[in-house]
Chain A
């Protein structure tokens, strides 16, 4: 068995990263439990059962778990062959919220479509689709990326179209995340620096401003670009969020004991669930939360580094970046460090589409951990070699 040709040899299939899987299950379990703790008061206030929101989320977990298993079982080469159709389909889905009768307008944004009580946010699905597609196309064109016109421009135009549609949905924050993910993919695929110089001269100032400052002037710029991006109550929610975090202190008020969350943060179940976590579990709980996510990302990056080829490596890293970036931005919003954006906290916030999207991303990471290079079979599992 020659290691020198490991990149080209048929993939050794193995058990996936058990520790990664365990950490993901733990995070999903903590998220669901906390969602119950944070939502029962609201649910009761709405005249539903105490576990209304938690149950609804648990119901979403079933298809999500199924999706995870399918993705993890089917070889990644199969998904790669579907990358093109998948991204085209997900871009097509992005248009659905604009179709009268199908689209749902919430808080001034048309991000959702659905029937009756069932709603779906297609931009969430676009995130893993974007990663899958870029991992495939950038790996395929690995040798031709120096030719920006032929190598980089076609995929750039395609995903640019998707991001533009998301912007039209008045979903500025998702557009930022998508652009960030795409940029990361181009970067790790070794697209020439000149491309980033050109891209950053257009896009980075906007991104940096958004991420690094919370100045009201910036808010105005953003308010200009997306007038309903900051509806009147968002700053109010950030204040409530900060109050809740302060109230949590070092040890927290205890699970289920948070009191500020409901009164001052209407979006506590989605965008500001972190504040409720911080209030109830304090600094210690936040530390646990951060360490758990750091561990998940570490295992994901490890899987990416040991992946059998560039496609799998890009895929795992892109998915990990998506989860990490979204988590961090959510926390930065909750602590008032960046302007309010509507962004769910992976595995913690309520919302079916977001959960599905995160679980799909996790599934791909896990799948990559199964399809490692022979020489990358890690210590502790050397028996496979």
Chain B
């Protein structure tokens, strides 16, 4: 290379680079796969829906479209026709659309956002018939939660590109998301997920918990209702909640799933697990008794004096009395009958200190430290439900051995998965985890818990006259995060109930977090909440009551599953339907529907089975 041509070579190299860029661009266009061609419609991915156990819709993809234009492709000579067709399909004045079409700020522009699928199809057809180019419809990747904040934490929400971020939306992302490879005719569908919750029960229990939250000025209320025989979660209440349709607008603190992620010290409710564990381990039996003189006292081998105060001076206590009075001293002494290692191992078998595996997107394992890390106070303290962190879902699940004679069931929130054609992909079955208690101990604890609803018991406010309930209440002091010591104003009031006691079908667990109202005690505020929940469940599912029939609401008829009300040619039996499910009737133009009162339908005219003529009046009286 001659030196005097060095600068020439620089120019030649630059031209060569430019040529390489041109060839590369050309090659990637000319030799690319035909599917990349401009104008090829991308696959529309329709995410699967989420339903409750009865098929009531909790989450569904929107059928909405964004209408945009690509100015260079518009047929400017027929610009008026565009605006007329748009006005026909979308409403409004043609001049509005014309103005937008004529603006020249950029080649790409939006004409309308989130128009209905019907309007989009009407307009799309009209444009195609007249061969008008340049407009396109993009399906809005959007998710609608028709029940709004109902079970918001369990259902969850999606982020951009419809990807699940929380709750079932995240836990079943793989099932719900549509696989573009499986597209047929430009559409790909995800599978649909049925949750174990009953939206109707969920609604009623959320309402109930909401009332309790405001009545007791509580920071939060959690409640889990579980089928004791299958481990299925029937209601999953975490208040405060949020509307997943607008989750970004909600305070982040409301996103916290207090059922599965919030871990706390349960307090005295934990004594039922302590007593079951100690008895199964052979430390005590039904007749073993201890003397409570107002405190748990022990001197360790090293001479350390341990003193834990009791709520009262309970005298001689056995298993039943310990639970009835919630006696700290008795529970502590009972724990002394077994070794720390055995006690720890048994509590682990209940599921404490590990995730319950309830098909959730996120779950806290709580905290149960290994005995090597325990102090001399730890064993009796844990026996009373402090120094151990649990979640509400763990508490409800740990109660399943008490209900069925000793077998822990895995809590479940997934009922089944079906594909877009409705064919089953997965049917969830009960999952026995392990035997935790022997049958005798389970029965003994259950019976002892029934004693706590006696007038002398801490759970008396949970009592329902015609329904046998096994109950344990608790009031736990909370650790003040600033001082790292137990606070004297922050408490968690909680109650666990199994019913009917003779053969428990349901488990209800509720915790009121930081109540600031008239009382902070589980026995005073959480017990009535659980009682009301049990009443609702018993009514809804027709649990046999001791003194049937129930007469809480006049003329209430219990239906196993409640769909939205609909009236055809003949009058259906609407009695027992809640007001919420009557709203579709109000949109009827052909008949007049009069609704009086609040609550549930008690009387209806015409009577069931009578014909309903157009123009006639239907009268519903609610109580």
Contacts and interface: CB of A to CB of B under 8 A. Distances in A.
Contact of B15 (A236, A304, A321): A321
Contacts of A304: 8
Contact of A337 (B5, B25, B30): B25
B18 interface: yes
Interface range on chain A (Cβ under 8 Å from partner): 35 or more
B110 interface: no
Contacts of B18: 211, 325, 328, 332
Contact of B72 (A187, A239, A243, A324): A239
Interface in B11-47: 11-12, 15, 18-19, 21-23, 25-27, 29-32, 34, 37-39
Interface string A6-48: 0000000000000000000000000000000000000000000
B231 to A, nearest CB: 57
Given A232-B71, A283-B27, A184 B22 contact: no
A159 to B, nearest CB: 18
Nearest to A184: B11
Contacts of B71: 232
A235 B11 contact: no
B465 interface: no
Contacts of A273: none
A301 interface: yes
Contact of A246 (B12, B19, B32, B104): B32
Contacts of A337: 21-22, 25
Contacts of B8: 188, 301, 304-305, 317
Nearest to A293: B19
A232 B104 contact: yes
Contacts of A286: 26, 30
Given A190-B7, A243-B38, A246-B32, A301 B26 contact: no
Given A232-B72, A301-B12, A324-B15, A331 B26 contact: yes
Contacts of A301: 8, 12
B160 interface: no
A215 interface: no
A245 interface: yes
Contacts of B518: none
A263 to B, nearest CB: 11
A258 interface: no
A216 interface: yes
Given A188-B11, A324-B15, A328-B18, A242 B72 contact: no
Given A216-B106, A236-B73, A246-B37, A332 B31 contact: no
Interface string A233-249: 11111010011011011
Interface string A318-345: 0001001100100110111100000000
A286 B26 CA distance: 9
A234 B72 CA distance: 8
A294 B27 CA distance: 17
Nearest to B106: A216
B30 A331 contact: no
Contact of B30 (A239, A278, A305): A278
A57 B11 CA distance: 32
A250 interface: yes
Given A232-B71, A301-B8, A325 B15 contact: yes
A243 B5 CA distance: 41
A237 B73 CA distance: 9
Contacts of A321: 11, 15
Contacts of B39: 243
B304 interface: no
Q: Chain B at the A interface: mostly helix, strand, loop or mixed?
A: helix
A133 to B, nearest CB: 19
Contacts of B23: 290
A245 B72 contact: no
B26 A236 contact: no
A220 to B, nearest CB: 8
Contacts of B107: 216, 235
Contacts of A216: 106-107
A331 B72 CA distance: 21
Nearest to B133: A236
B25 A335 contact: yes
Contacts of A363: none
A188 B31 CA distance: 37
Given A235-B107, A331-B26, A283 B31 contact: yes
Nearest to B34: A246
A152 to B, nearest CB: 15
A282 interface: yes
A232 B5 CA distance: 44
A245 to B, nearest CB: 5
A130 B72 CA distance: 36
B72 A249 contact: no
B545 to A, nearest CB: 72
Contacts of A290: 19, 23
Interface in B39-73: 39, 71-73
A190 B3 CA distance: 12
Contacts of B10: 187
Given A282-B30, A321-B15, A325-B15, A336 B7 contact: no
B2 interface: yes
A129 B342 CA distance: 101
Contacts of A248: 30
Contacts of B27: 283
Of the listed residues A237, A283, A304, A336, the one surrounded by the most CB atoms of chain B closer than 10 A to its CB is: A283
B2 to A, nearest CB: 7
A332 B15 contact: no
Interface in B85-116: 104, 106-107
B69 to A, nearest CB: 12
A332 B21 contact: yes
Contacts of A328: 15, 18-19, 22
Given A184-B11, A232-B104, A239-B38, A305 B2 contact: yes
Interface string A180-206: 000010011010000000000000000
Nearest to B17: A328
Interface string A259-288: 000000000000000000010001100100
Contacts of B32: 246
A125 B7 CA distance: 26
A242 B73 contact: no
A218 B35 CA distance: 29
B2 A242 contact: no
A187 B10 CA distance: 9
Nearest to A287: B23
A83 B460 CA distance: 113
Interface string B106-134: 11000000000000000000000000000
Contact of B26 (A187, A245, A297): A245
The 8 nearest A-B residue pairs measured at CB: A236-B72, A335-B25, A331-B22, A337-B25, A235-B72, A328-B18, A245-B29, A335-B26
18 contacts: A187-B11, A188-B7, A232-B104, A235-B72, A237-B72, A286-B30, A305-B8, A317-B8, A324-B15, A325-B15, A328-B19, A331-B22, A332-B22, A332-B25, A335-B22, A336-B29, A337-B21, A337-B22
Interface of B: 2, 5, 7-8, 10-12, 15, 18-19, 21-23, 25-27, 29-32, 34, 37-39, 71-73, 76, 104, 106-107
Given A290-B19, A321-B15, 12 more contacts: A216-B107, A234-B72, A235-B72, A239-B73, A243-B37, A245-B26, A278-B30, A286-B26, A286-B30, A305-B5, A305-B8, A317-B11
Interface of A: 184, 187-188, 190, 211, 216, 232-237, 239, 242-243, 245-246, 248-250, 278, 282-283, 286, 290, 294, 297, 301, 304-305, 317, 321, 324-325, 328, 331-332, 334-337
